[in-house]
């Protein structure tokens, strides 16, 4: 590792913060086809064909860092290799590279390129990939940042590490479509109340990355409300995806947010991560009042539930059904090829997860990622397969450890079978999500009116049902099985009995949805299912005021054939707001 002078000298520093380069999800010298730059299509709805959820998510941490240091910062997201090289040539004092373990080779190549094309710059590695043991010896760099990067960079630049945190105003997704149908309106807002999780599950790299502690950015319900209000006003939507490992853990803060929404008559909606024991303690009725429309829950395993305190004593099937009956979609997450699994008992865990009848199911292999407790234990016991390249450490094909019950080609077969079973038994996640919204609407419609919060939630569910119902004819048209086709038609009929026949506009929209879905299926058949995200460049030339009118992202023509269009955003457009 080279050693260079720190970044605390006089003058305003020019900083480049970059995610790894594309193309993504292809087999080449730098990556693998299974490591797709789409969270849901990668490890949740991957077997659902044309009905798979297709979303792209930015490298959110880079935008938080950029919004919280006094420097000229450029964030480069989803670049091509050539675009990264051209950006380096513009002259930077610091080049930060964020990556995860499967993108190790890309990060190494980017550091090599930075030495050539920006020889005077310090190279800083961050993200979960920075937890790789000996990464500073494996990749030519000057600094490795493990954990939260705002404080580190502020200190490195000689700035106040305890200054208030500014929350960038960002969408959670850049591309959002299902069945080839673009989801209309503004995509949900990003909200990050804090980082880390105290549960400290042995396999969880996020919890261990932050020392099994929780560091709040927004400490009170009032702070949460004000941040949400200002972000929502800027982006034009009251829907938020909350990037917080276990937001409901602080029940007092969450209930204070409910009280603030009720006092101000502004009722936001939230997509959350949470654990089963926390959800049970919080209560489903409180979830409805909070405006929760989606929960990602780690149920992990039925056959060894004793390994996870968060799930002990929980009737998982009852919990999922109760949540869906109140209009809350559930993503149930499970782990395959755990230490206790054998070909004889793993089917039981797959059947357990499928039998929950959640809206979505994530199947992942047990991955002993660097910094986690399971990594340390496997290393000590000699189970780690340190010869397997990091490109394969993505959890959707091979195990980076020696499992006594499975050959190296077995895990991917079990994964494929699990995804196919969930799809075959429960139908598409799009259908299930629509069904959940309708179930929730009927639950709230049966209650007396007059409670402003519940009245607002009922109306939000009615609007969700109306939006999802437009896709039911397309689901029936492209159904993979007669079972799914019958379910879609039956749900469509039930919704029409509740809401009345579709209007002329709704009929036209449903026909358009069918046309788009058929076109999408043809596109997948002819060209495959890879969607490369557009490059996004955000220039943070100066500290932005707390609130500014939001300007749209404008795509420009690609500068070379290997790239997708580049979206450029000035600092004044990539606004942020103060949280303290």
* CB hemisphere CA count around 111 (13 angstroms): 26
Residues 322 and 199 in one domain: yes
Lowest-pLDDT choice from 308-317, 537-546, 555-564: 555-564
Question: How much is the pLDDT for 308?
Answer: 76
Lowest-pLDDT choice from 115-124, 199-208, 317-326, 358-367: 199-208
Residues 153 and 63 in one domain: yes
- The predicted-structure confidence for 149-193, as pLDDT tens digits, reads as follows 999 999 999 999 999 989 999 999 988 899 999 887 789 999 999
Residues 25 and 104 in one domain: yes
Residues 267 and 121 in one domain: no
Is residue 25 within 8 A of residue 52, CB to CB? The reply is: no
Q: Is residue 83 part of a domain?
A: yes
58 to each of 76, 173, 419, how far by Cα in Å? 10, 7, 26
Is residue 123 within 8 A of residue 97, CB to CB? The reply is: yes
Residues 312 and 243 in one domain: yes
Residues 205 and 342 in one domain: yes
Nearest C-alpha neighbor of 307 from the set 201, 208, 212: 201
Residues 287 and 416 in one domain: yes
CATH of the domain at 230: 3.80.30.20
Top-confidence residue, 199 or 531:
531
371 Cβ neighbours under 8 A, 6+ residues apart: 128, 131, 146, 205, 208, 209
Range of the domain at 372: 188-426
Q: Residue 424 and residue 155: Cα distance in Å, rounded?
A: 53
Domain end among 383, 406, 426: 426
Tokens of residue 567, six digits: 């979206």
Q: Is the pLDDT of residue 576 over 60?
A: no
* CB hemisphere CA count around 88 (13 angstroms): 25
Q: Measured in whole angstroms, how far is the alpha carbon of residue 566 from the centre of its chain?
A: 22
Q: Is residue 2 part of a domain?
A: no
Lowest-pLDDT choice from 3-17, 53-67, 462-476: 3-17
Q: Is residue 7 part of a domain?
A: no
290 to each of 189, 218, 279, 383, 544, how far by Cα in Å? 16, 16, 12, 44, 31
Question: How much is the pLDDT for 564?
Answer: 45
Binning pLDDT at 50, 70 and 90, where does residue 555 land? very low
Which helix or strand (DSSP H or E) is residue 550 part of? none
Domain end among 362, 396, 426: 426
Is residue 354 within 8 A of residue 336, CB to CB? The reply is: no
Domain count, the chain: 3
Residues 237 and 319 in one domain: yes
- The predicted-structure confidence for 488-507, as pLDDT tens digits, reads as follows 999 999 999 999 999 999 99
Q: Is residue 518 part of a domain?
A: no
Question: How much is the pLDDT for 548?
Answer: 29
Question: Does residue 336 sit in helix, strand or coil?
Answer: strand
222 Cβ neighbours under 8 A, 6+ residues apart: 256, 260
The three state secondary structure string of 33-97 is CCCCCCHHHHHCCCCCHHHCEEECCCCHHHHHHHCCCCCEEEEEECCEHHHHHHHHCCCCCEEEE
- The predicted-structure confidence for 252-307, as pLDDT tens digits, reads as follows 999 999 999 999 999 999 999 999 999 999 999 999 999 999 999 999 988 776 67
Nearest C-alpha neighbor of 237 from the set 466, 460, 443, 571: 460
Q: Is residue 175 part of a domain?
A: no
Which helix or strand (DSSP H or E) is residue 386 part of? none
Domain end among 426, 459, 474: 426
Residues 571 and 451 in one domain: no
Q: Is the pLDDT of residue 567 over 60?
A: no
Is residue 197 within 8 A of residue 212, CB to CB? The reply is: yes
Q: Measured in whole angstroms, how far is the alpha carbon of residue 578 from the centre of its chain?
A: 24
Measured in degrees and rounded to the nearest 5, phi and psi for residue 469 equal -60, -25
Residues 416 and 434 in one domain: no
Nearest C-alpha neighbor of 311 from the set 203, 199, 212: 199
Percent of the chain with pLDDT over 90: 76
Q: How many Cβ atoms from other residues are within 10 Å of residue 155's Cβ?
A: 14
Q: Is residue 208 part of a domain?
A: yes
Q: Is residue 519 part of a domain?
A: no
Residues 149 and 207 in one domain: no
Residues 328 and 418 in one domain: yes
- The predicted-structure confidence for 357-374, as pLDDT tens digits, reads as follows 999 999 999 999 888 888
Compute the C-alpha angle 362/366/368, nearest 5°. Answer: 130
Compute the C-alpha angle 542/546/551, nearest 5°. Answer: 75
Question: How much is the pLDDT for 446?
Answer: 97
Q: Is residue 174 part of a domain?
A: no
Contacts 24+ apart (CB under 8 A), 145-154: 146/209, 146/371, 147/209, 147/210, 147/211, 148/195, 148/210, 148/215, 149/61, 149/64, 149/65, 149/96, 150/64, 150/65, 150/68, 150/69, 153/15, 153/65, 153/69, 153/96, 153/124, 154/68, 154/69
């Amino acid at each position: 590792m080279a050693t260079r002078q720190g970044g605390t000298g006089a003058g305003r520093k020019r900083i480049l913060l970059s995610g790894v380069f594309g193309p993504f999800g292809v087999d080449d010298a730098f990556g693998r086809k299974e490591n797709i730059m789409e969270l849901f299509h990668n490890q949740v709805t991957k077997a659902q064909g044309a009905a798979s959820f297709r979303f792209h998510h930015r490298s959110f941490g880079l935008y938080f860092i950029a919004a919280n240091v006094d420097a000229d910062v450029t964030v480069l997201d989803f670049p091509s290799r050539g675009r990264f090289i051209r950006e380096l040539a513009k002259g930077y004092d610091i080049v930060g590279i964020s990556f995860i373990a499967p993108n190790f080779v890309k990060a190494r190549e980017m550091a090599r390129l930075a030495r050539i094309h920006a020889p005077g710059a310090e190279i800083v590695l961050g993200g979960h990939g920075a937890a790789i043991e000996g990464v500073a010896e494996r990749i030519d760099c000057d600094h490795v940042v493990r954990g939260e990067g705002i404080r580190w960079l502020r200190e490195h630049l000689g700035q106040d590490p305890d200054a208030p945190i500014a929350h960038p105003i960002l969408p959670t997704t850049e591309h959002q479509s299902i069945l080839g149908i673009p989801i209309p309106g503004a995509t949900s807002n990003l909200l990050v109340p804090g980082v880390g999780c105290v549960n400290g599950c042995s396999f969880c790299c996020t919890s261990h990355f932050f020392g099994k502690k929780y560091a709040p950015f927004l400490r009170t319900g009032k702070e949460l409300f004000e941040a949400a209000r200002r972000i929502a006003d800027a982006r034009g939507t009251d829907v938020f995806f909350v990037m917080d490992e276990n937001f409901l853990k602080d029940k007092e803060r969450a209930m204070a947010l409910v009280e603030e929404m009720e006092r101000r008559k502004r009722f936001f909606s939230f997509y959350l991560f949470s654990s089963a024991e926390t959800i049970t303690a919080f209560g489903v009725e409180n979830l409805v009042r909070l405006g929760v429309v989606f929960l990602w829950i780690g149920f992990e395993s039925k056959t060894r539930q004793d390994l996870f305190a968060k799930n002990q004593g929980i009737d998982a099937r009852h919990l999922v059904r109760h949540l869906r009956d109140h209009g809350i979609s559930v993503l149930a997450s499970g782990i395959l090829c755990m230490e206790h699994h054998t070909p004889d008992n793993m089917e039981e865990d797959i059947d357990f997860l499928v039998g929950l009848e959640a809206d979505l199911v994530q199947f992942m292999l047990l991955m002993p990622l660097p910094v986690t407790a399971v990594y340390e234990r496997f290393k000590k016991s000699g189970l780690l397969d340190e010869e397997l390249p990091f490109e394969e450490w993505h959890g959707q094909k091979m195990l980076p450890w020696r499992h006594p019950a499975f050959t190296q080609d077995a895990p991917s077969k079990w994964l494929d079978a699990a995804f196919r079973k969930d799809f075959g038994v429960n139908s598409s996640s799009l259908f299930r999500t629509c069904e959940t919204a309708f179930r929730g609407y009927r639950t709230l419609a049966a209650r007396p009116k007059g409670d402003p919060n519940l009245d607002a939630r009922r109306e939000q569910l009615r609007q969700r049902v109306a939006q999802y119902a437009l896709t039911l004819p397309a689901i029936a048209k492209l159904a993979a099985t007669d079972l799914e086709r019958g379910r879609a038609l039956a749900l469509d009929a039930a919704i029409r009995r509740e809401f009345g026949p579709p209007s002329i506009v709704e009929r036209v929209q449903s026909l358009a949805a069918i046309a788009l879905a058929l076109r999408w299926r043809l596109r997948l058949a002819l060209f495959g299912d890879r969607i490369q995200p557009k490059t996004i460049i955000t220039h943070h030339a100066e500290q932005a005021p707390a609130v500014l009118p939001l300007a749209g992202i404008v795509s420009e023509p690609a500068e070379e054939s290997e790239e997708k269009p580049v979206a450029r955003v000035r600092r004044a457009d990539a606004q942020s707001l103060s949280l303290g």
